[in-house]
Amino acid sequence: MGARGQRRVDAEAAWGKLAAAHNVPIHYFRLAGIYGPGRNQLAALKAGTARRIDKPGQVFSRIHVADIAAILHASMAKPHAGRAYSVCDDEPAPPQEVVAYAAQLMGVDAPPLIAFEDAELSLMAKSFYGENKRIQNTRIKQELGVTLAYPNYREGLRALFDAGDF
CA separation for the pair 70, 86 (Å, rounded): 13
Q: Is 21 within the bounds of a domain?
A: no
pLDDT at 123: 84
Q: Is 7 within the bounds of a domain?
A: no
Q: Is 16 within the bounds of a domain?
A: no
pLDDT at 110: 97
Amino acid letter at 10?
Answer: D
pLDDT at 144: 96
Q: What is the CATH number of the domain that holds 65?
A: 3.40.50.720
**Averages of pLDDT over each 10 residues, the chain, 166 residues:** 80 91 93 95 96 93 97 95 95 96 98 93 81 86 97 98 92
Q: Is 67 within the bounds of a domain?
A: yes
- For residue 157, what are the domain limits? 29-163
3-class SS at 54? strand
Amino acid letter at 14?
Answer: A
CA separation (Å) from 77 to 23, 35, 70, 71, 123?
A: 20, 24, 11, 10, 40
* DSSP 8-state secondary structure symbol assigned to residue 78: S
Q: Is 2 within the bounds of a domain?
A: no
CA separation for the pair 39, 64 (Å, rounded): 10
pLDDT at 1: 67
Q: Is 152 within the bounds of a domain?
A: yes
As beta bridge partners, residue 52 has 113
Q: Is 18 within the bounds of a domain?
A: no
Split into its structural domains, the chain has a count of 1
Q: Distance between alpha carbon 86 and the CA centroid of its chain, in Å?
A: 10
pLDDT at 4: 74
